[in-house]
Amino acid sequence: MRLQGQIALITGAAQGIGLATAHTFAAQGASLVLCDRHADTLNPVADALRAEGTPVLAQALDVADRGAFTALVDAAIARFGQIDVLINNAGITRDARLVSMTDEQFDAVIDVNLRAVFRCTQIVAPHMIARGSGVILNASSVVALYGNFGQTNYAASKAGIIAMTKTWARELGPKGIRVNAVAPGFIQTPMIATVPEKVIAQMAERVPLRQLGQPEDVASVYAFLASRDARYISGTVIEVDGGMTL
């Protein structure tokens, strides 16, 4: 198991890509620190993983709350002694066309998808610097690369993630810390659960592989990037999109 002995902190871990990542990392030997907004969805995930033998520390919180996230990191260090991998996975959407998007919609997405990633990484990074090692993985999106109708706020936040990833790779590389981003395409998660089947079919037709991705497809890339197999990869953005940006 290539993540044996690793301590991984995953935000947005109760569903979708975050949930798949938690299960993938557990299967590869990692101990987990999980957070999500809602205890009623997070706690069953944590309980199920513990039942399978994975050490888990879980806390319901808003990643935009610096104090709450700091407390979680402190608790993780107290229990496990270290954090080897930070996966900034949590994200939201508040879609609207440019001319009708409100300040509240724009700010909400930027606060969770961009500013919270900055805060969470700023809180965890000193612990990694002190140990001289660590991996930081950020959730971007293919919309950061080509835009998307009705997603000014989301695309801007995910483009910012790419910029921060490359900047942190430069700053933290000399400290022994690798920083990378994953840019998923159309992934079948609860975020698109309300999309009509006709629209989903149209989305799949835009992908050369003619299908939507599964959360596990992204989780496996996270696991690779977190492992020693990726020890010389830093500052990159890996698209997991079935070729849709070709």
Phi, psi at 72, each rounded to 5°? -65, -45
| Cβ contacts of 222 within 8 Å, gap of 6 or more | 21, 24, 25, 87, 137, 182
Query: What torsion do the CA atoms of 60, 65, 66, 68 make, to the nearest 10 degrees?
Result: -30
> CA 45, CA 39: separation in Å to the nearest integer?
10
SS3 72: helix
From residue 140, alpha-carbon distances to 25, 174, 180 in Å are 20, 24, 10
146 given a catalytic annotation: no
How is residue 10 written in tokens? 């995953």
The DSSP bridge partners found for residue 59 are 35
Yes or no: say if 24 and 92 are a contact pair by the CB < 8 Å rule: no
> Which helix or strand (DSSP H or E) is residue 104 part of?
helix 103-110
Active-site residue numbers?
154
